[in-house]
Amino acid sequence: MDTFRDYFKGKRVTVMRIGLLGRGVGDAAYMAEAGADILVVDSAPQTVMQPSIDALSAYPNVRFKFGLYDFADFKDADLVLVGAGAPLFEPVLMECRAAGVRLVQSAALFAELSHVPIIGVTGTRGKSTVTHMIHHGLTEVTGEPVLLGGNIRGVSNLQLLKEVKDGSLAVMELDSWQLQGFGWAGISPQVAVFTNFMEDHLNYYHTGGRTYEEAMDAYFADKANIFRYQEESGTFITTPAVFARAQAFAAREGITIGQEVILADVSVLPEDMILAVSGAHNRENAALAYEALKALGLPDEEIFEALTTFPGVSGRLQYVGATENGVRIYNDNNATTPTATMAGIEAVAAGQNVILIAGGSYKEVDPTPLLPLLVTHVKQLVLLPGTGTDRLTAQLDVVGSTINRTSTVSMGEAVKAALAVAQSGDVLLFSPGFASFGLFKNEYERSDAFMVEVGKYIV
């Protein structure tokens, strides 16, 4: 039974950046049903946000305001629910902090209100796969429903409050923006999994005159909220490389890492264990998931059996199917950095047999390390437009690469161009290496577009 509605009854709530993915809409709907007075503010034009307006049209206690943010819309709020990606130095949020206005984020607010034990997963790469591996393992072994939230497509964290019962557990994928909210609340999950730490989101953190090193430190500081506030009874699962950085961060911040620390390694998995998901990086993901499931008291044999049946996550090196002439197709849409694309190529390549669809918006992450793999394994490079694509092609020109390249303007054109050169034994890999913005509203729209187009060719 939902016992959390009274918390919101009569509260004045400002919702900032409601988004178009359904998560913010679901959060607003939950609070509206509970009796909150809600003002949604968004810097995006109303025409862009109309789907979210329509979705909340049944609630008379939800109002909307679009355009430049005005502190007058924040200063009297009992709480401000901040959506993901709000600019780091957004003036109105700085005014809120100075005035003591309470800022919250929905994943952290769920944790605060529900008191449900949470297994939280973060990291630059692999967090979605590890989150779903843990959730799959828990449900397979226990046979009980397990809550799944955080950075999950279309899932409102506040709506999850309706599903909380005695004995509930929640597995949450937590990106750096959601972990800002955990930092504001001064809390961390009971079990924290930190997969890896690499360059990403530098277009967000490399602001305010920060150097590259300062931007990376700021990015890590948000991620570090996953373990920063753990009690000694908590468990922190990570890799040696991340833990070394965590120790340096803790020393700099005056934090004691007193919780149990487990350093995961692929050697914990049986050598003959065959996963349904390909790639060396997915064995590393499975090792992290294993340690989390073991920390929850599950027996080894049942954990291993569950992990072997994990089918993978949509858009993360997802095997889609094959064409009539035997070209295998993979959707690695969520590879939004060059490093992630490198892992995808290495997982599926067998010589120079990869037709790669890539490109998108630049996130200030250098694509240079990707170039050697393109030369070694990519038979044809098909490029979608974007600022990241421009950076990649400039780098290819600098090194004088003769790799076959085709520039396209749409997903349909890209898939058609890729399959036109594909032969039996080849792999069509969609692994963009850059963000989706520009050509698409978000990464989910990009993934959907790819799936629609390749669906025309799969037998």
Place of tokens 């509260």: 11
Report the distance separating Cα 160 and Cα 332, nearest Å.
Answer: 28
Residue appearing with tokens 């150097």: 211
Q: Is 197 helix (H, G, I), strand (E, B) or coil?
A: coil
Q: Are 330 and 317 in contact (CB under 8 A)?
A: yes
pLDDT tens for each residue of 302-337: 999 999 999 999 999 999 999 999 999 999 999 999
Taking residues 232-239, report their average pLDDT. 98
* Helix or strand holding residue 173 (H, E): strand 170-173
Q: 88-107 burial by CB neighbour count: b if 16+ within 10 A, else e?
A: beeebbeebeeeebebbbbb
3-state secondary structure 31-100: HHHCCCEEEEEECCCHHHHHHHHHHCCCCCCEEEEECCCCHHHCCCCCEEEECCCCCCCCHHHHHHHHHC
Write down the number of H helices and E strands in the chain.
17, 17
Cα gap 51→235, rounded to integer Å? 41
Average pLDDT rounded to a whole number, residues 333-354: 94
Residue 144 to residue 137: CA distance in whole angstroms: 11
What whole-number percentage of the chain has pLDDT above 90? 89
**pLDDT tens-digit series, residues 14-48:** 999 998 878 999 999 999 999 999 999 999 999 99
Banded pLDDT at 85 (limits 50, 70, 90): confident
pLDDT of residue 279: 87
Of the listed ranges 12-21, 392-401, 442-451, the least confidently predicted one is 392-401
Give the CATH number of domain 10-104.
Answer: 3.40.50.720
**Going by C-beta distance under 8 Å and a sequence separation of 6 or more, which residues neighbour residue 195?**
121, 122, 123, 124, 125, 126, 127, 130, 238, 239, 242, 284, 285, 288
* pLDDT score, position 401: 77
Phi, psi of 212 (to 5 degrees): -60, -45
The predicted pLDDT at position 267 comes to 95
- pLDDT band (50, 70, 90) for residue 432: very high
Q: Sorting pLDDT into bands at 50, 70 and 90, what band is 291?
A: very high
Identify the DSSP state of 5: G
Q: How far is CA 1 from CA 10, 46, 147, 392, in A?
A: 21, 36, 15, 53
Instruction: Of 288, 192, 285, give the one whose Cα is nearest residue 236.
Output: 192
Asked if 312 and 344 touch (Cβ cutoff 8 Å), the reply is no
Q: How confident is the model at residue 86, as a pLDDT?
A: 86
Could you tell me the pTM of the whole model? 0.89
Whether the CB-CB separation of 183 and 111 falls below 8 Å is answered with no
The rounded distance, in Å, linking the Cα atoms of 48 and 50 is 6
- Tell which CATH classification among 3.40.1190.10, 2.30.38.10, 3.40.30.10, 3.40.718.10 matches the domain 107-308: 3.40.1190.10
Does 441 have pLDDT greater than 90? no
For residue 344, what are the contacts with CB-CB under 8 A and spacing of at least 6? 279, 317, 330, 332, 335, 429, 431
β-strand partners of 79: 13
Place of tokens 């992990």: 307
Residue 153 reports pLDDT greater than 90: no
In this prediction, residues 100-125 reach a mean pLDDT of 97
Residue 1's pLDDT is: 53
Q: In the chain, what are the domain boundaries?
A: 10-104, 107-308, 318-455
What SS3 class is residue 237? Answer: strand
The 8 Å CB, 24+ separation contacts for 70-77 are 70/41, 71/95, 71/96, 71/99, 73/14, 73/39, 73/41, 74/14, 74/16, 74/41, 74/101, 75/99, 75/101, 76/12, 77/12, 77/13, 77/14, 77/39, 77/101, 77/102
79-82, strands of its sheet edge to edge: 62-66, 37-42, 12-16, 79-82, 103-104
The model's pLDDT over 380-392, given as tens digits with 9 standing for 90+, comes to 999 999 999 999 9
What does the block give as tokens for 249?
A: 């961060």
Q: Is 360 left (phi over 0), alpha (psi -120 to 50) or beta?
A: left
Q: Tell me the average pLDDT of the chain.
A: 95
318-455: in CATH 3.90.190.20? yes
Q: Is the pLDDT of residue 126 over 60?
A: yes
**Count of residues in the chain:** 459
Ordered alpha helix ranges (H), 224-318: 225-228, 240-253, 280-295, 300-308
With vertex at residue 136, the alpha carbon angle to CA 27 and CA 276, rounded to the nearest 5 degrees, is 130
User: Is residue 120 left, alpha or beta, with left meaning phi > 0 and alpha meaning psi from -120 to 50?
Assistant: beta
- Could you read off the pLDDT of 238-289 as tens digits, one per residue? 999 999 999 999 999 999 999 999 999 999 999 999 999 988 999 999 999 9
Residues 235/260, Cβ–Cβ less than 8 Å = yes
Do 116 and 168 form a contact (C-beta atoms < 8 A)? Answer: yes
Give the strand pairing for 318-322 and 328-331.
antiparallel
User: Per-residue confidence at 437, pLDDT binned at 50, 70, 90?
Assistant: confident
* CB 158 within 8 Å of CB 202: no
Question: Are the C-beta atoms of residues 125 and 337 closer than 8 Å to each other?
Answer: yes
